[in-house]
Amino acid sequence: MTEKILKIADLVNEPGAPRWVGYPGLPGFELLLRLPDIPAVTRLVSRCSVVDTLPEPAPKKKPQKKGQTALRVNWLDYHDQLCRYAVENWRGFRAQDLALLLPGLTIKLEGGDPEAPLAFCPENLDFLLRHSGPFAKWLSDYLRQWEGQDEEQEEQENQNLSPTPTGSSTPTT
């Protein structure tokens, strides 16, 4: 009889796993959001433009090891890629909800059904990210807060690790 293999993925709750989140002020409108894991972050960064110069004065960082180069990614490009990655789906979004998300724009519902559902698709997400300040701000704030919670939890977990022989809680190379 073979022994069952214990898998790490079965033992942990993935912090960036998709979750349904209600959009404030629009009852019934929920978005399925996710945070990128390390390989996804790498892909997102690779899609961003590289910034050639740092603003002066450049912050002091740890000295780089020989052969390493600093990658300076355009933060706005990364943020845009992250928001597009994070929204996996939505439900409960109706045509009449556009008036709240697109203030100042004229919504054409003449002869149309205000209860008509607006399906999730990349084009609809792109339009909201480009034209809806309230939506883009809320999504950005939510993702930043979620990432911050995960980082705080990771720091707390690292503090609870048993010290390594060198006395630090993280291994040295």
pLDDT per residue as tens digits for the range 17-68: 899 999 999 999 999 999 888 777 888 788 777 765 555 555 555 555 555 5
Which of 121, 141, 137 lies closest to 129, judged by CA? Answer: 137
As a whole number of angstroms, the distance between CA 104 and CA 124 comes to 18
Reported as a single tens digit per residue, the pLDDT across 123-153 is: 999 999 999 999 999 999 999 998 887 566 6
Asked whether the whole model's pTM tops 0.75, one would answer: no
3-class state of residue 148 by DSSP: helix
The pLDDT confidence band at residue 173, using thresholds 50, 70 and 90, is very low
